[in-house]
Structure 1
């Protein structure tokens, strides 16, 4: 039962994370079938991200009002309905609307999965449980493109979405039978104004950055939308400081562990969020690989991510949150920079070794930050913490992709012969520097933060206690 809960939640999150990228290689086939262009169809990618950004903030209130388990099952059902609607869509408008419906379901799944896990897991076992929950978030975006290409090539694109139906139905049944029923503590009145402002802020930033980095619309529209999102964010911060029950309580940032986990994790995700965008492009455009070849190569990252979950709890117990996050963040950033040193002549085993190490370190970092978010947070505030962390996660990944795409756009304009491997190197070095800056919030954090979850200080105290007992016995006449 101890591993059943995180595994059930992980399966649902794998479905959601994979689906967010699975259609990227299938856009031409879908566009041709529904009578539109692949460029226009990129609006479906953007609509999914916008739906996530809008509805994540309300997920915490929904969990407190109706119960995390019930809302989680309903979120899977909405996601499945959106998948069916995508499969039967016959026009661009219908497909974009269907992806939006999927995004509404996905918006609830990630924060609520973490919330259910926190409320069902003892604090001293939270790191081990989070390790299982972190893996699908890393593997899903990696396997999405090759699986999407395989299904589209050998079947039809409709099965990209229809395959979610049996997985989702199984998830609903398993969640109903095995997830614990957590008593609903009662939700405060819905902060309607806060919901509107936070939705405009998050969706404006995500949509603006997505349009800038994936220009399905004129970049000027993205810039205006991004500016509107930033203004709404400032207005929401002012509102949250005055509201009695804000939908996203920014006062949680007074907690050192929560503040460091969200800010440090966001900086790290900005840098690493660009890697799934940059690396396949470099392998295809710079090294001449096919999409399937590059997808199979980058999948090596998954092996490192899976291997991490077996030792994450031990590593954090020995090193503590502060030391582990600083070391893993800096080492993972060095590996991001190492991607920029790859050449077409680089031995494949060397590339594989680097990618496996990258998966291991990123998974360790994300497991630690996901646990640190809740380490010193009261159970009554866990729903708020989950929602805020999820919002920052979505925004930081969008920022990372926009930065990676922006760097390549600048490099392309400076040259006439198209992008070269050196252009990708510059992009990797820049995003690696951003990822390395994630160490700063953790350098400012006390090493004692989160010790009840990591067990680091407790292990030290037990050793000291054992030594004192031995000394006492030695002096006992």
Structure 2
């Protein structure tokens, strides 16, 4: 096989892994009401299967680079796909909500390594300007997944059963396993530094405690438990600081935060994504439970947002070049937040054209928001800090998705219990998560605008 053919095969393998991970993040949402009925659970209680998946990915993403160095990208990527497929089979076989949550954790273990190790494999095999083109090819798979996910999930639910939203990963994964065994290089590094298990444990404790506190049922006697978990989360984060100062090779260097735009971008990403990540979870539930849409119909309604997001990616470079990251993110964040608030207007009497317009605006602005936030957060890091910074950034992205789902679902339950109306609960929840996104505009005002970028980054969502 020629070198060019080997590179092409590698890109296809990584793209398939990225596609599986991106598809699985979105395909579940339109099937949640059907899964809830099948398992005898409340639809809003299904947020735990989304949070379990994204939180697991957030916890394990930092270890992916070390695993690839220690055991080689071929072995680790093979195991990642295998675990993801086994987890998918367990999801399809679940007979209760608790079983499905455990299966989603197993699926998240495999999914956490697909994208970062795939990127690393490409980086080690493709150099120079070809690397940017290679990342662009991989990013297409990440765009196709969210486009197909909601519609495919709705079609499976109506035509076959919800189990097929997980079983679809089996044939794709089988092809991936065969291709990985044949084409990926065995590139283990014998003298790789030891992994920072203490640092990883502290950050994991911080994220898990914070997420569980937010996901706790809204009951008076649980308030003390939630408060205790928030305290544990804060103490774990604070304990990491002296640990990182003492250790020679900590999980994340504290020097990362000396780059001002990295700190601002990380906080802005977390706040902004909490709001925007609640939308893919809440919208299908609103459409099916309150507007009377079928699963397929609600999946099709997500297409305007997906297509608009794909088209808008081409607008980022000229807009950022003309206005700079600070002005662009300030204005675009306001548009994203306003469009999320606009979802509160969805009702049985809302014109279809208006719904599509709001969805398209959200999809376009949200897509540009992610790409711009990715770029401004990472572009100022040195080559030495880029890998560690990207790993921390990826972890925060996945954490924000889980937090968005927990907060969005929790708000609906709070407002429903307070006012006795699920429809009003959805409306007020969209207003609240939209305001959370708008609040991130205040964070982006602190960006260092000089010097202005010459071009937009090629960051992959």
1:306 touches 1:360 (CA, 8 Å); kept in 2?
yes
2:41 touches 2:97 (CA, 8 Å); kept in 1?
no
Counterpart check, 1:431 vs 2:433: yes
Partner residue of 1:402? 406
Partners in 2 of 1:267 and 1:3 — Cα distance?
38
Cα RMSD for the two superposed structures: 3.9
Partners in 2 of 1:129 and 1:324 — Cα distance?
27
Among 271, 280, 305, the alignment partner of 1:267 is 271
1:27 touches 1:41 (CA, 8 Å); kept in 2?
yes
- Offset of 1:352 from its aligned partner? 0.8
1:316 touches 1:455 (CA, 8 Å); kept in 2?
no
- CA deviations over 1:151-189 (Å, ceiling 9, x no partner): 244334443322112222444566677889989595322
Counterpart check, 1:281 vs 2:285: yes
Counterpart check, 1:80 vs 2:82: no
Counterpart check, 1:101 vs 2:70: no
1:376 touches 1:450 (CA, 8 Å); kept in 2?
no
- Offset of 1:267 from its aligned partner? 1.5
Give the 3 Å change call, closer, same or farther, for CA 60–178 of structure 1 in structure 2: same
Partner residue of 1:48? 53
Counterpart check, 1:243 vs 2:260: no
Counterpart check, 1:12 vs 2:14: no
Larger deviation, residues 202-211 vs 108-117: 108-117
Q: Secondary structure at the match of 2:422?
A: coil
- CA deviations over 1:27-85 (Å, ceiling 9, x no partner): 6876888xx64368875545434422331232233344445566444422321232234
Q: Secondary structure at the match of 1:454?
A: coil
Q: Secondary structure at the match of 1:420?
A: helix
Give the 3 Å change call, closer, same or farther, for CA 19–53 of structure 1 in structure 2: same
Give the 3 Å change call, closer, same or farther, for CA 378–207 of structure 1 in structure 2: same
Counterpart check, 1:154 vs 2:159: yes
Partners in 1 of 2:279 and 2:410 — Cα distance?
13
Partners in 2 of 1:123 and 1:427 — Cα distance?
46
- CA deviations over 1:277-310 (Å, ceiling 9, x no partner): 3323333344333333222212321111121233
TM-score, structure 1 length as denominator? 0.78
Among 329, 354, 359, the alignment partner of 1:325 is 329
Partner residue of 1:310? 314
Partner residue of 1:460? none
Partner residue of 1:420? 423
1:127 touches 1:312 (CA, 8 Å); kept in 2?
no
- Offset of 1:120 from its aligned partner? 7.1
Partners in 1 of 2:54 and 2:120 — Cα distance?
21
Partner residue of 2:41? 38
Q: Secondary structure at the match of 2:314?
A: coil
1:272 touches 1:400 (CA, 8 Å); kept in 2?
yes
Partner residue of 1:290? 294
- Offset of 1:438 from its aligned partner? 2.2
Give the 3 Å change call, closer, same or farther, for CA 363–30 of structure 1 in structure 2: closer
**Structure 2: any 5+ residue segments left out of the alignment?**
none
Give the 3 Å change call, closer, same or farther, for CA 450–9 of structure 1 in structure 2: farther
Partners in 2 of 1:329 and 1:142 — Cα distance?
22
Give the 3 Å change call, closer, same or farther, for CA 324–128 of structure 1 in structure 2: farther
Give the 3 Å change call, closer, same or farther, for CA 370–125 of structure 1 in structure 2: farther
Q: Secondary structure at the match of 1:451?
A: coil
Larger deviation, residues 178-187 vs 331-340: 178-187
* Count of aligned pairs between the two proteins: 449
TM-score, structure 2 length as denominator? 0.80
